[in-house]
């Protein structure tokens, strides 16, 4: 056993040395002086363990006492760190005359687009619904008629996490909203969120965003769908002369399904979304009769709106590039 005087004098040294530290640098030096590998406490331990005159019992209790001293050190050490962290800069040391930068940054084009879409959708009577990014296979696939052996469920296309998946589309939110039974008769729901696919090349990102929307309405038809999409795109692109065309498509959850192209100034058609009449087997399961749905890639329509040609510009975090989109938040 260590002598009581010995223990007390070590404790006193610890307290004194820690409290006289002025900064973190000094504190770290004190730490290694006391509890570092070559520090005072380990030196004690070694000295006693080597002493062949001491019984094993005695060595054990000395080991225990040294550990208690280490705990004692750590207690004061942590207190000192919080004291450093809480230290306020004295007001007479703050220079209020230093000019503040007026460049406070601006919203990313994807955020601008997203805000814009929220505004348009809400004006058009849509209610926002959300779902998890890590989704059950049931909502992402099964409930949408995507069978077990469908190629999209392949490990090469989808990220699996234990029994779940990183959702591959926001259409999963459609099922969650219908299943919740929160809505009756006629209603409009939309969602915007992150989606994931095993794609990573010059025109694809492994994580991107989609807007999913659907309208449950007894008079819904392909022509009301077309009228709605035209209205939406006119608002989004902020021009009246938007031209679209519907081509037949295939999605397991809509029938008929369409792919929608928009015409550009140069006369070229660009595919921008998928849509269709929600399949009867999906609707009837939750007691609904008729409706249409659509899914839009946020990156895609943002690139078109802002004239961005390289999808990787959206994720490169290149400040001068980002700065050109919206100086609205700078003062």
Binding site for ligand DAH (CB under 6 A): 169, 171, 212, 251, 254, 274-276, 293-295
Strand 254-263, strand 244-251: pairing: antiparallel
Tell me the closest approach of the beta carbon of residue 172 to ligand DAH, in angstroms: 9
Q: Which is nearer to ligand DAH, 59 or 290 (CB)?
A: 290
Tell me the closest approach of the beta carbon of residue 253 to ligand DAH, in angstroms: 6
Q: Which is nearer to ligand DAH, 109 or 295 (CB)?
A: 295
Tell me the closest approach of the beta carbon of residue 141 to ligand DAH, in angstroms: 11
Q: Which is nearer to ligand DAH, 76 or 208 (CB)?
A: 208
Q: Which is nearer to ligand DAH, 44 or 261 (CB)?
A: 261
Tell me the closest approach of the beta carbon of residue 191 to ligand DAH, in angstroms: 10
Q: Which is nearer to ligand DAH, 114 or 209 (CB)?
A: 209
Tell me the closest approach of the beta carbon of residue 325 to ligand DAH, in angstroms: 26
Residue nearest to ligand DAH (CB): 295
């Amino acid at each position: 056993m260590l002598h009581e005087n010995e223990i007390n004098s070590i404790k006193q040294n610890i307290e004194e040395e820690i409290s006289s530290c002025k900064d973190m640098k000094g504190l770290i030096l004190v730490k290694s002086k006391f509890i570092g590998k070559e520090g005072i406490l380990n030196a004690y331990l070694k000295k006693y363990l080597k002493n062949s005159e001491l019984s094993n019992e005695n060595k054990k209790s000395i080991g225990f006492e040294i550990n208690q001293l280490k705990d004692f050190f750590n207690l004061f050490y942590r207190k000192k760190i919080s004291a450093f962290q809480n230290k306020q800069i004295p007001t007479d040391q703050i220079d209020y005359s230093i000019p503040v930068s007026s460049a406070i940054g601006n919203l990313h084009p994807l955020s601008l687009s997203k805000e814009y879409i929220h505004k348009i959708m809400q004006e058009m009577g849509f209610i926002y619904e959300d779902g998890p990014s890590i989704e059950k296979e049931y909502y992402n696939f099964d409930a949408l008629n995507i069978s077990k052996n469908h190629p999209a469920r392949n490990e090469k296309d989808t990220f699996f996490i234990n029994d779940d998946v990183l959702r591959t589309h926001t259409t999963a939110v459609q099922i969650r909203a219908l299943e919740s039974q929160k809505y009756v008769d006629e209603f409009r729901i939309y969602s915007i969120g992150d989606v994931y696919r095993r794609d990573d090349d010059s025109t694809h990102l492994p994580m991107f965003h989609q807007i999913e929307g659907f309208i449950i309405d007894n008079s819904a038809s392909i022509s009301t769908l077309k009228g709605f999409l035209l209205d939406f795109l006119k608002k989004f692109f902020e021009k009246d002369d938007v031209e679209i065309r519907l081509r037949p498509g295939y999605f397991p959850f809509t029938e008929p399904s369409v792919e929608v192209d928009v015409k550009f100034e140069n006369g070229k058609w660009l595919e921008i979304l998928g849509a269709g009449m929600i399949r009867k087997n999906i609707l009837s399961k939750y007691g609904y009769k008729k409706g249409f749905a659509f899914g839009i890639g946020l990156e895609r329509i943002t690139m078109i709106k802002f004239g961005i040609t390289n999808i990787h510009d959206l994720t490169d975090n290149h400040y001068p590039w980002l700065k050109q989109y919206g100086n609205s938040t700078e003062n």
